[in-house]
Structure 1
Amino acid sequence: MNRRLRLIPQGIIARLVAILLVTLVVEFAISTAIYEQASEFSVREDEARRLAEHLVIARRLIAEQPRDRRHEMADELTTDRYFVRWSAMRPTLPGAGDNQARMREQIVTWEPALARTGLQAQTLPRAGSTIAVGSLRLPEGDWLFFRTIEPLQTTGATYGRIFSSVIIMLALMLLGGLFIRQTLKPIRLLTNAVERFGPGLDQSGPEPELPRGGTGDVQRLVDAFDAMQARIRRLIDERTRALAAVSHDLRTPLARLRLRVEAVDDRQLRGEVESDLEGMEAMVTSLLAFLGGDGEPEKRRLIDLAVLCASIVDDANDHGHDINYDGPSHLELWVRPLGVRRAVVNLVENAVRYGSETGLELTVEDTSVTICVTDNGPGIPEESMMLVREPFVRLDHARQRDTNGFGLGLSIVERAVADEGGEFTLTNRDSGGLAAMIRLPIRPAPTV
């Protein structure tokens, strides 16, 4: 099935050219068949008329001669086109021919008097062409044998017509392809504009140049895309300003609350309030990171991924968690640093939250780098592996209910990995727990 689909042209120009080709081939085959059939009939009808006239004359002239001179008269009546022989006995025709009834009928149609002479006529194949042979009875009971010398139909002219028709067909197809390509040029330009356009473009970014001209349908498509582009830019701008306001309005009171909680004398109450504040800050941070993911894209930079992973592990150990790092001391890679760091931090936080034994392993392959974070926690049910990647999803039956956040951690990881053109997978370990794996491609330095 896939192989069959690969044989079908995917581009619109290629498909239209293929349609033109199929149409021309079908039309050529039908017209050639009709032409050849009509040409065959016309040649044979014309040949039958000339042959009938020659037979009438030859029969009369030979019948007027004495029997001992009829051989000489037959030789004189043999031309470059017709072979004639006199025979006292009825001649045997050379093999079974084709179209006996039709050939005889065509001759008799032109000369009805030949119908009373016991006329036999048929066509025989001869070296890729066709000849006519036959016999008829003379008045005294002897016979006249005849045969056409020149073929009724030659193949050379047919092959020549086919070759010239193919050349014309290919020329027309090429010309049609050029016209189609020119007609669809605005669609190609629109496709390029769509590829350059993305939700990550802010209002200040350059707008892709849209094509003008073309057919009415194409121009309406361009206008619709232009209007959609303007709406998307407006929505992005409004969301960016709203996120900035929300970030300020939420973080400011949280900072004030953190300062005021220091004045609480009750250590138990102060600890509970600080825990709630940390939870609120974690939720605000994850929500802003998720909603702000479509903002102006971060530029890729050459960073030491090994140092980044080791520093994340050290920070988790400093906060009282037990996590090991296994990997090289240095590994440079072109990535978006903030996005990759946020993804690894989210996986490490999940691992230390749900497991007591965690680890981060960094490995290098030929074309990719793999970051694997493991834990010995409860894991994730197999039927929920895809669901857990969705935003605002928390599997309470598999995880603790008193955790912070909105359930955006894995969604943020998946988006960050997708931005790098990588792959993010989750699998349950045979020994228990979860293995979260990020595979990033090794990219060359970007060209300036």
Structure 2
Amino acid sequence: MATLTRLLSDATDQERSRIIKRVSEEGEKISLDETPWVDSHPRHPMEKKIARHISRSTGIRDHSAIRVMVELDGRGKSHREDNHFRFRAEKGIKTIDISILLWDDLWLNFHTHHFKDAPPWANTTLQGLLILLALLIVIGLLIARRMARPMAQLADAAERFGLGQPQSPIPERGPREVRQTIHAFNLMQQRLQKQISDRSRMLAAVSHDLRTPITTLRLRAEYIEDQEIREKTLATLAEMEAILSDTLSFARDEAADEQARSTDLAALLQSLIDDHADLGGDASYQGPERFNFICRPVSLRRALNNLIDNGLKYGESVVATLSTTPQRVTIHIDDSGPGIPEDQLEAVLTPFYRLEASRNRETGGTGLGLAVANSIILAHGGELTLANRPEGGLRVTLLLNQLTN
């Protein structure tokens, strides 16, 4: 209407007739008359809104020159969209009549009753599309979950295998690429477990088989007449026997299949400290009275016992400290000994490495204590580090991740 008003205002009489004829449609009537079809000014909110829009679009400031009448059976509502005024009719609207006074005292009259309700199938189609979309989303989520479940199982198994926990083969399910990945992981896990088992059995067999000749040598050494040579020979054989015993114990630990279970770690650490204190060692504990932790208690007890033994062997006192967070457990074992040279802090964690070149068991041990402890902590998915304390002595730090099950 606004565009038509501007066109007619500038057109000649002949042009006006052509314009009106072209824009008239079925159900609409447009004419130029000396009198308006609408006698009253807009009263209904919808009528006022239409009039205001026409006024803004045409530049007609005289509100009496714009008259609108809307006849309703039901309800109608208007709204603004993208800076254009639009009228959206709901069922029950019968007619709209508009009269606009042009500059030459002629009225542009407009009448329409061309309002069509939405076809009856429109709502049904929209509902069907929404239901179909919802079904597609649900199906997509189910497919994604089906594809993601095998990968989640693989990730969980890989994490637990890295923590040293034996895993049964993962069912090979999912897409072809996922099945191939799971198959490769199962095969790798089987081979690694077999290699570890074979190595541990071989080490245990060698250590066991050497016990017989050592026992024979010990019996023969008793017949050596020179007392000094006899004592040195027996001491060497005792050292060899101790090394074999530690090696056999190390091999057993490597091959052990201990199941992880909930353990009071605070009580375990306190009991070790109390045992060493009862034997005369200056050992103390700092930390909570109770703390449940999922671990392999037998192997972890041995690791902690080795570390406390080392601390008391090379230092006058040991302090064990336990601290926890929701994700991690930290254990510090501090001694007052001479510490370890910085360039050997990592080397002492390897099997059979001893600081003393003399290889005297009374001072240097067999070189397996720290190696065994480190192996056990690694099997728990943790980390063992050594550091010299500024005030003197060695600090052994154990970092263990908390497991949920």
1:391 and 2:350 are equivalent in the alignment: yes
How far has the Cα of 1:248 moved from its partner? 1.3
CA distance in 1, matches of 2:142, 2:336: 61
1:131 touches 1:147 (CA, 8 Å); kept in 2?
Answer: no
1:359 and 2:359 are equivalent in the alignment: no
1:414 and 2:374 are equivalent in the alignment: yes
Q: CA RMSD in A?
A: 5.6
**Matched ranges for 1:29-108 at <5 A:** 52-53=23-24, 61-62=31-32, 70-72=34-36, 94-95=55-56
2:80 touches 2:86 (CA, 8 Å); kept in 1?
Answer: no
CA distance in 1, matches of 2:157, 2:339: 48
Higher relative strand content: 2
1:422 touches 1:441 (CA, 8 Å); kept in 2?
Answer: yes
The share of aligned pairs that are identical, in percent, is 26
Partner in structure 2 of residue 376 of structure 1: 337
CA distance in 2, matches of 1:261, 1:147: 130
1:402 and 2:362 are equivalent in the alignment: no
1:309 touches 1:344 (CA, 8 Å); kept in 2?
Answer: no
CA distance in 1, matches of 2:277, 2:108: 109
State the one-letter code of the partner of 1:181.
Answer: R
Q: Alpha carbons of 1:427 and 1:162: their partners in 2 closer, same or farther (altered >3 Å)?
A: farther
Partner in structure 2 of residue 264 of structure 1: 224
Q: Deviations over 1:71-119 (max 9, x none)?
A: 15687xxxxxxx9xxxxxxxx962358xxxxxxxxxxxxxxxxxxxxxx
Given candidates 298, 303, 318, the residue that maps to 1:343 is 303
Structure 2 residues not aligned, in runs of 5+: 1-18, 40-46, 48-52, 59-77, 88-97, 116-122
Structure 1 residues not aligned, in runs of 5+: 1-47, 63-68, 76-82, 84-91, 98-125, 153-159, 202-206, 318-322
1:305 touches 1:333 (CA, 8 Å); kept in 2?
Answer: no
Given candidates 186, 197, 202, the residue that maps to 1:242 is 202
1:224 and 2:195 are equivalent in the alignment: no
CA distance in 1, matches of 2:213, 2:388: 41
Q: Alpha carbons of 1:93 and 1:309: their partners in 2 closer, same or farther (altered >3 Å)?
A: closer
CA distance in 2, matches of 1:170, 1:50: 50
What number of residue pairs does the alignment pair up? 324
**What SS does the corresponding residue of 1:94 show, helix, strand or coil?**
helix
Partner in structure 2 of residue 172 of structure 1: 136
Q: Deviations over 1:407-437 (max 9, x none)?
A: 4432321333455677755342333221335
CA distance in 2, matches of 1:392, 1:337: 22
Partner in structure 2 of residue 115 of structure 1: none
**What SS does the corresponding residue of 2:35 show, helix, strand or coil?**
helix
Partner in structure 2 of residue 113 of structure 1: none
Partner in structure 2 of residue 325 of structure 1: 283
2:349 touches 2:371 (CA, 8 Å); kept in 1?
Answer: yes
1:181 and 2:151 are equivalent in the alignment: no
Q: Deviations over 1:203-228 (max 9, x none)?
A: xxxx8364355432233234333433
1:193 touches 1:209 (CA, 8 Å); kept in 2?
Answer: no
Given candidates 127, 130, 135, the residue that maps to 2:79 is 127
1:358 touches 1:373 (CA, 8 Å); kept in 2?
Answer: no
State the one-letter code of the partner of 1:128.
Answer: R
State TM-score, norm by structure 1. 0.52
State the one-letter code of the partner of 2:195.
Answer: L
2:214 touches 2:237 (CA, 8 Å); kept in 1?
Answer: yes
Q: Alpha carbons of 1:430 and 1:419: their partners in 2 closer, same or farther (altered >3 Å)?
A: same
**What SS does the corresponding residue of 1:128 show, helix, strand or coil?**
strand
State the one-letter code of the partner of 1:224.
Answer: A
CA distance in 2, matches of 1:372, 1:223: 42
How far has the Cα of 1:246 moved from its partner? 1.1
2:204 touches 2:248 (CA, 8 Å); kept in 1?
Answer: no
Partner in structure 1 of residue 240 of structure 2: 280
How far has the Cα of 1:251 moved from its partner? 2.8
How far has the Cα of 1:359 moved from its partner? 1.8
Q: Alpha carbons of 1:171 and 1:379: their partners in 2 closer, same or farther (altered >3 Å)?
A: same
2:311 touches 2:318 (CA, 8 Å); kept in 1?
Answer: no
1:93 touches 1:134 (CA, 8 Å); kept in 2?
Answer: no
CA distance in 2, matches of 1:408, 1:148: 103
